[in-house]
Structure 1
Amino acid sequence: MSDENMKDSIIDAAFTKKNEEENVEQPEKPEVSEENKAKLGDVVTFQRDGKDLKGEVTSDKLENSVVVDMTIMEDFKEKDLDFEKTVVRHGKYTIQERAEESE
């Protein structure tokens, strides 16, 4: 086999393998159940850049995430965070305290 044919063969094999990998269905990530999703006013903890953070959910309208206000932490200023609020994906936080439901 000439070098040119071998090169073409290797390139074809690489593209075939890539296409096969792309066509394989990826297992879906398990969805977080509604009861395990944080609601407005809930207090959640999560990690960001190796820091343990805590905040109150200020918006639960996003499909895959919640908006969290971190200023409830006593040491918020000492943590030197860039923002007061952040977005946290469902499954990446733990609910520490549920908001009281109004009737």
Structure 2
Amino acid sequence: MADENVSKNLMDAAFKKKESEEEQKVKEEDKATEGDIITFQKDGQQMEAVVTSARLQNSVVCDMTIMDDFHERNLEFEKTVVAHKNYSIKERRDR
């Protein structure tokens, strides 16, 4: 009887973990595509960038040089990778 309870508790925990992981995934229609402009936080700063590649499974590659103050921010790189869950789409490219 005790083994059955332990087994049931383990199964319940596994299902709850799987459900939690599924809820955290970004829906396909909410993901940015090439040409979209996104906003996100990086090093405590609000950034804006254009998506240059959306071929990665969990993130996008984007170019931050579209910001008017890009050079004043003294950022190390022109491009960065942002996870789907960490950005919002500001503007969709014309389709």
Normalised TM-score (structure 2): 0.78
Q: Which moved more, 1:42-51 or 1:26-35?
A: 26-35
Q: How many Å separate the matches in 1 of 2:25 and 2:87?
A: 14
Q: How many Å separate the matches in 1 of 2:74 and 2:45?
A: 11
Q: How does 1:1-103 map to 2 (within 5 A)?
A: 25=14, 26=17, 27-28=20-21, 30-101=24-95
Deviation for aligned residue 1:30 = 1.7
Q: How many Å separate the matches in 2 of 1:45 and 1:68?
A: 10
Which 4+ residue blocks in structure 1 deviate beyond 3 angstroms?
24-27
Structure 1, unpaired ranges of 5+? 1-23
Q: CA RMSD in A?
A: 1.1
Q: How many Å separate the matches in 2 of 1:62 and 1:71?
A: 21
* Paired amino acid for 1:70: M
Greater CA radius of gyration, 1 or 2?
1
* Partner deviation per Cα, 1:38-92 (whole Å, 9 max, x = no partner): 0000000000110110000000000000001000000000011000000000010
Structure 2, unpaired ranges of 5+? 1-12
Indicate the percent of aligned positions where both proteins have the same amino acid: 53
Q: How many Å separate the matches in 1 of 2:55 and 2:87?
A: 16
* Paired amino acid for 1:76: F
User: Which has the larger share of helix?
Assistant: 2
Count how many residue pairs are aligned between Structure 1 and Structure 2.
Answer: 78
Q: How many Å separate the matches in 1 of 2:54 and 2:70?
A: 22
